[in-house]
């Protein structure tokens, strides 16, 4: 056996979980991504999706994707930089820029590639990237590729952020990169405080709106809009794989910044462009977001109902204020076991364990869609209460 294979063969955590019957990953869904899905012939309620507005099955979204394939084919066979730019890419970019309140935007083929390609190339060797300790992995991978000095601050802690800003040389670029809504914990970034500190220390701000768009702000325009600080935030990132019911992502900013990224961001220049179907689907989802505000209202009705239910039964849910609800278990093996027991009871939820979080912070991520019914939510709450009581968590 070669040295590489010898080293990798020692990694056996998945095998152990499978042997114990509690392996929770790569569960094959045999149906559409809806509030109820089919896995191994069994119907289960889906409370592990990021499709907050429930648009993956919307007839207008599916119709737009089909028509795009009929007109443009299935792919672009090249990068945006060369032969892969379609008129629908450019049209959607203009709409997205207007939607989030910026001058221009560019589309990447995934949200991960946005953060990878933007964070890694904006700042230089003598500059600084300041990031929240609970930022998404794509932000972390992006700043790992940068030659800038990286400074981490405690989650949503403005005193900690200010201490890190004080370490920076005043005449160097300082870029604060944060999630608008934190993807596992469901809490919202303290953007007003971050903006105040950015002004005090002449720093720039990039906000990842992956879990904010479609959820917060007027017509789902995101966290920046929610707090009224759009003009104070320099870059706004979004993904298509959540509320936009597609795949891809974008970055929006001023003309000069977008021009630089368009010609220097490696994950943009050297990746194949977003497929016609994905682009058209995201565009149709944006139409629905703008024209069906009742969907967002419905999502928030369900969110408040769920939060009241979890608090009422005594679950530990942290500081969440969104449709992402963490149910803290604080034990890896128990988290896996409870996910299995909930699945057996007809409820699909996601485990979040170390190394994604510290071992003492393991949790179950429970997320809502606007298309859930209260009857479905009641069924999930009842199952969770029964199983959590069984394990002494409530």
| Token pair in block for residue 82 | 């060369």
Length of the chain in terms of residues written:
394
Question: Cα(128)–Cα(325) distance, rounded to whole angstroms?
Answer: 32
Tokens at 94, concatenated: 């203009």
Please classify residue 62 by burial: count the beta carbons closer than 10 Å to its beta carbon, then call 0-12 exposed, 13-18 middle and 19+ buried: middle
Name residues whose C-beta falls within 8 Å of residue 364's C-beta, 6 or more positions apart in sequence.
326, 327, 329, 335, 338, 339, 342, 349, 350, 351, 352
Within a 10 A sphere around the Cβ of 374, how many other Cβ atoms?
A: 12
Spatial distance between the Cα atoms of 179 and 209, rounded to a whole number of angstroms? 6
Q: Determine the Cα–Cα distance for residues 324 and 181; give it in Å rounded to an integer.
A: 9
R_g (Cα) of the chain, nearest Å: 21
Q: Could you tell me if 323 and 368 are in contact, meaning their C-beta atoms sit under 8 angstroms apart?
A: yes
Alpha carbon 81 to chain centroid, angstroms: 26
- Helical residues (DSSP H) of 201-269, grouped into ranges: 223-227, 255-264, 266-269
E-assigned strands of 4-159?
A: 36-39, 42-46, 104-108, 128-132, 149-153
Distances (CA, A) of 84 to 77, 269, 285, 317: 7, 10, 22, 44
What is the C-alpha separation between 186 and 212, in angstroms, rounded? 10
Tokens of 128: 């600084």
For the chain, how are helix, strand and coil distributed in percent, rounded to 5?
Answer: 45, 15, 40
User: Are 226 and 217 contacting, i.e. CB atoms less than 8 angstroms apart?
Assistant: yes
Instruction: List residues with catalytic annotation.
Output: 183, 211, 242
Q: What is the dihedral of CA 92, 93, 95, 96, to 10 degrees?
A: 110
């Amino acid at each position: 056996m070669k040295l590489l294979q010898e080293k990798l063969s020692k990694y056996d955590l998945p095998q152990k979980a499978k042997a114990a019957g509690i392996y929770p990953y790569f569960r094959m869904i045999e149906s559409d991504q809806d509030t109820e899905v089919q896995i191994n012939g069994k119907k289960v309620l889906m409370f592990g999706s990021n499709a907050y507005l429930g648009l993956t099955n919307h007839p207008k979204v599916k119709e737009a994707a089909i028509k795009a394939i009929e007109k443009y084919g299935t792919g672009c066979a090249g990068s945006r930089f060369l032969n892969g730019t379609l008129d629908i890419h450019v049209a959607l970019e203009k709409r997205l820029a207007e939607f989030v309140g910026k001058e221009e935007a560019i589309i990447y083929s995934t949200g991960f590639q946005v953060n990878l390609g933007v964070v890694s190339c904006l700042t230089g060797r003598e500059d600084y990237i300041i990031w929240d300790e609970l930022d998404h992995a794509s932000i972390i991978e992006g700043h790992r590729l940068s030659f800038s000095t990286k400074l981490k601050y405690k989650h949503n802690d403005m005193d900690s952020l200010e201490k890190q800003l004080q370490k920076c040389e005043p005449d160097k670029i300082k870029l604060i990169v944060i999630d608008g809504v934190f993807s596992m914990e469901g809490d919202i970034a303290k953007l007003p405080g971050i903006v105040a500190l950015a002004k005090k220390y002449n720093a720039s701000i990039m906000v990842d709106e992956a879990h904010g768009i479609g959820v917060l702000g007027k017509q789902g325009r995101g966290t920046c809009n929610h707090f009224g600080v759009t003009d104070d935030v320099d870059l706004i990132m979004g993904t298509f794989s959540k509320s936009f019911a597609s795949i891809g992502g974008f970055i929006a900013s001023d003309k000069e910044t977008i021009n630089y990224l368009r010609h220097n961001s490696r994950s943009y220049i050297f990746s194949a462009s977003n497929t016609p179907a994905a682009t058209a689907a995201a565009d149709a989802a944006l139409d629905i977001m703008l024209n069906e505000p009742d969907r967002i209202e419905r999502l928030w009705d369900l969110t408040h109902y769920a939060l009241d239910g979890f608090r009422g039964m005594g679950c530990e849910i942290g500081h969440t204020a969104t449709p992402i609800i963490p149910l803290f278990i604080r034990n890896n093996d128990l988290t896996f076991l409870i996910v299995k027991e909930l699945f057996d009871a007809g409820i699909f939820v996601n485990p979040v364990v170390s190394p994604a979080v510290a071992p003492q912070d393991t949790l179950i991520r429970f997320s809502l869609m606007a298309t859930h019914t209260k009857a479905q939510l009641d069924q999930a709450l009842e199952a969770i209460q029964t199983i959590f009581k069984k394990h002494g968590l409530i």
